[in-house]
Structure 1
């Protein structure tokens, strides 16, 4: 398959913005891009030529495909559903309609054997858009557990890193670093090639720094399920903002974090904010009753909460809405796009994603001037 997108503003994912340009995708990768009209040889080689302005209207924009590294579900399905293949297909399709070409399957806390089984099932249901699995737990602080079942929490000593990584493609795990044995567990996962995030934690600044020294490189949904930022106790957020090694997740739905903080956060940690959805099964679905792991969730007005409580239980956010939200809050468009593409991809070690550069994966989104996805391609193949 060979596709030429032309006559669009092109954001390559690096700090490059082509006012009017073209992108050529072939054999699953980016073959070239440039300003102005595409060279005759590229036009001749393309099996399909898409006039971006004709399809998306004036102000048409082309960006890399969006990358969501924290997603629990969508379309009424969750990644821990019994029928893994059906769940994966449905969730990928829902998020692809919103510009997401690659995502990581996040699992809430559960018994280690159950997690092994789910990792194995998801790995067996592998799809091109599924990058791997993120364990959001079970080694979390009980008082910062959020929408994780108390009974499912475990001590770091109870996890077998070799068994979990052997079960399938585990790419990330969230750990509360103050738990006994947590620093050794962080070192073991990092040694196994798994990215470690600090989150759902009571850790102070000193313990957060110890976690980073042990290899932690992400902060799970900044400001949520961690001690608040305080001028004498900066905690995980303050430490992560100050440390260039850390990428901070942001759920930009206006519920998890007030929009007035979006632009400040981007300025405080330039190039290190990763937009994530933290979407649960209700993303792309109506309000109603759902489940997150073993816990009952009620969604009202698009906000998911544990039934009968004020505890937020994931979100119904999609990543295109997150991009629009941060742009509306004053974040420059190039920074917003990078936060949904290049930054999360690099946070999990995928330098071939989130960029429209030669030999990177051929993932692209065509947007209208209002930042609504019009068409989406993964590996050069149209998804929506």
Structure 2
């Protein structure tokens, strides 16, 4: 995406009281980030009155990247698989400090996911700000671990699916599936085609995960949720992911999906492989209090989304809140929390050479936060947005 295609206000400089670059644990103070053609040209100490006249914030970090966001601004990808819907979801995500998203389309009947791929391709080709690609979560899951996904639509991959998913796609394609339920060689063929395959909604054994990893499995979706757990004699998906030297994982830090102690454990064991995700639904930055999800009524009570039986149905949490939770509830250092929201997901997607770090040559995608870790503004390739609005001034 070039800056002229963005809908925010183009800026040439951003001021940071504290700049966390995604690499060092120590912030640089009172810095100016110079931007040219949507990329970072230089980083230098501020001069004169630049702090007053440039867009800026107490904290500037690499732009947050959400690998798993189902909806926002009263828009759910599954209900409206169009590029216009993806633009609204990205707008809603920006209100929580997220610069880039992988809009997530969950299990749906048949090959409905093809509509999601078409919408994602159209959004990318239209250079819609912040859209990196598409995350398909299902329908190729385990019937034993459906979560909130409609069980009637869960099924294994077919040859037609493999062909459709292996077709050229202009952005990132992340596919969550249960590897133990798929035909032999399916994972290797998808990986060879460039699909990033993650395990989720799976009852696989650790041995099955190790075999899948050898065939190209790259990561895990919402670690600890909807997957076989770590036990004394069987490590399950959780144990296999924690022990792997290479698998990345997303994790939801809303205080509802995963105990804070488990997040701390995963962060300690996985280091740069652990990525913060929201798993947000249409209620994020919206007004909806309930909605129908393939015949199940989902209710929002506070920040909890669940069906009538109390089963969690995605999340109602923004990325800035999640970062704050990592610091305040989990006890992680701020630099580590910021990397989990930016640097780690960029690397998980193979984009570590252009996103997730603030350095010359990188894309000018930044998250601007106040001292309380609430989002103030977002830059997407040099275009500055305040919430879902163009930047209105420092």
The alignment's TM-score, normalised by the length of structure 2, stands at 0.88
**Which residue pairs with 1:22 in the alignment?**
32
| SS class of match (1:142) | coil
**Which residue pairs with 1:208 in the alignment?**
209
Q: 1: distance between equivalents of 2:172 and 2:28?
A: 39
Contact 1:142 1:150 in 2 (8 A): yes
Q: 2: distance between equivalents of 1:138 and 1:244?
A: 28
**Which residue pairs with 1:315 in the alignment?**
315
Contact 1:68 1:275 in 2 (8 A): yes
1:242 Cα deviation from its structure 2 partner: 1.3
Q: How does 1:131-210 map to 2 (within 5 A)?
A: 131-157=132-158, 159-166=160-167, 168=169, 169=171, 171-181=173-183, 183-210=184-211
Contact 1:219 1:249 in 2 (8 A): yes
Structure 1 range deviating more: 147-156 or 290-299? 290-299
* 1:267-309 CA-partner distances (Å, limit 9, x unpaired): 1111111000111111123462113456432211221112x21
Q: List alignment gaps of at least 5 residues for structure 2.
A: 1-9, 387-394
Contact 1:108 1:293 in 2 (8 A): no
Q: How does 1:233-312 map to 2 (within 5 A)?
A: 233-286=234-287, 288-292=289-293, 295-306=296-307, 308-312=308-312
1:143 Cα deviation from its structure 2 partner: 1.6
Q: 1: distance between equivalents of 2:333 and 2:16?
A: 22
Contact 2:71 2:77 in 1 (8 A): yes
* 1:340-368 CA-partner distances (Å, limit 9, x unpaired): 00111111111211111111110112211
Does residue 378 (structure 1) correspond to residue 376 (structure 2)? The answer is no
* 1:16-47 CA-partner distances (Å, limit 9, x unpaired): 5333123222210111214x336x9xx8xx9x
Q: 1: distance between equivalents of 2:284 and 2:11?
A: 32
Contact 1:112 1:159 in 2 (8 A): no
1:50 equivalent among 51, 54, 57: 54
1:157 Cα deviation from its structure 2 partner: 2.8
Structure 1 range deviating more: 165-174 or 220-229? 165-174
Task: Quickly say closer, same or farther: Cα 1:188–1:49, change in 2 above 3 A.
Answer: farther
Q: 1: distance between equivalents of 2:300 and 2:11?
A: 42
1:119 equivalent among 97, 112, 117: 117
Q: 1: distance between equivalents of 2:295 and 2:240?
A: 33
Q: 2: distance between equivalents of 1:96 and 1:228?
A: 33
1:360 equivalent among 351, 359, 362: 362
1:87 equivalent among 80, 85, 88: 85
Contact 2:132 2:172 in 1 (8 A): no
Contact 1:23 1:30 in 2 (8 A): yes
Does residue 5 (structure 1) correspond to residue 17 (structure 2)? The answer is no
Contact 1:280 1:292 in 2 (8 A): no
Q: 2: distance between equivalents of 1:300 and 1:158?
A: 42
Q: 2: distance between equivalents of 1:226 and 1:205?
A: 11
| SS class of match (1:271) | helix
Structure 1 range deviating more: 96-105 or 289-298? 289-298
* 1:248-276 CA-partner distances (Å, limit 9, x unpaired): 11100000001232222211111111000
Q: CA RMSD in A?
A: 2.1
* 1:44-84 CA-partner distances (Å, limit 9, x unpaired): xx9x95264xxx4xxx1110110001111011101123361
2:74 equivalent among 76, 97, 111: 76
The alignment's TM-score, normalised by the length of structure 1, stands at 0.90
1:167 Cα deviation from its structure 2 partner: 7.5
* 1:291-333 CA-partner distances (Å, limit 9, x unpaired): 3456432211221112x21211111111111100001121111
Does residue 100 (structure 1) correspond to residue 101 (structure 2)? The answer is no
| SS class of match (2:189) | helix
Structure 1 range deviating more: 127-136 or 288-297? 288-297
Contact 2:61 2:366 in 1 (8 A): yes
* 1:192-224 CA-partner distances (Å, limit 9, x unpaired): 101110110010110011111111111110000
